[in-house]
Amino acid sequence: MIESLDVFSSAYSFQEEDLRDKTVVMIDVLRASSTMVTALNNGAKGVIPVGDMDDASKISHNLDSQSFLLSGEKDGVTIEGYDLGNSPLEHSRDAVLGKTIILNTTNGTRAIKRSANANRIVVGSFLNLSSVVDYLKESRDEVVLVCAGWRGRLSLEDLLCAGNIIYELYPDQLPQTARDGAKVAFGLYEKFGDDIENSIKSSNYAVRLKDIVGEDDLTYCCQRSTLQVLPVLKDGIISDLNGKEK
């Protein structure tokens, strides 16, 4: 039984101390979470989330050049000189099998870095929704769903995913231990949950992202529970807990 449940609306909507000893689910539907889940599903050894290009460069210099890929975007556009952008569709099995992905994104990887005080950090998206829900059902922690958002603002797609996770945990009624953020996310899902794809495709970032990379990423990231991957951060590397002994 989860001890308490809250939702933070963006990577910058909380004090880092707020997450001490909690279980965090970081949600960045468009697209960092979806990309991490997809890369791990396609055989990547792990994902190293970094907060900026300096971190990415320092880590890459200590690794065998054949063992990793530099992935990432700035404001949705692939970072110059990187191997891949942040489209989940770029992280195919051919591209990532056996590789470690150093991932640098505008909001999602920064949300992970700011959650460093957490007891555990899990990566959630629509793609691995049921794996996240199954994991949380066994949790006894205080749980915070951290939405990456966009530069400190709320992203509808992240909050909707948080609401969907909460709805799957508590389909009938929210517990007394649900905080205001959880109630808001749950209410958003009750309003838009019957048409996830169209709701997300009309979100502020989806409209901007479509102009940059087209619609395929948006359609892909709206699929629910298609990948049974549970990305968990340990010693700076995110790997698939479902792919290993728990």
Contact positions with ligand MLT (CB under 6 A) in 8-67 = 28, 30-32
Q: Is position 231 an interface residue for ligand MLT (rule: CB under 6 A)? A: no
Rounded Cα gap, residues 134 and 150, in angstroms: 28
How many residues bind ligand MLT, per CB under 6 A? 13
Q: Which stretch binds ligand MLT (CB under 6 A): 56-64, 102-110, 134-142, 238-246?
A: 102-110
Widest distance between CA atoms in the chain: 51
Q: Which stretch binds ligand MLT (CB under 6 A): 99-107, 130-138, 194-202, 224-232?
A: 99-107
| 148 sits near ligand MLT (criterion: CB under 6 A) | yes
* Binding of ligand MLT by 105 (CB under 6 A): yes
Q: Shortest distance, CB of residue 95 to ligand MLT, whole angstroms? A: 16
From the list 211, 187, 207, the residue with the least C-alpha distance to 77 is: 211
Q: How far apart are CA 123 and CA 112, in angstroms?
A: 9
**Cα(163)–Cα(104) distance, integer angstroms:** 26
Q: Report in angstroms how near the CB of residue 118 gets to ligand MLT at its nearest.
A: 18
Instruction: Name the residue with tokens 């900026």.
Output: 52
Q: How far apart are CA 172 and CA 157, in angstroms?
A: 23
Contacts with ligand MLT, residue ranges (CB under 6 A): 28, 30-32, 73, 76, 86, 105-108, 148, 209
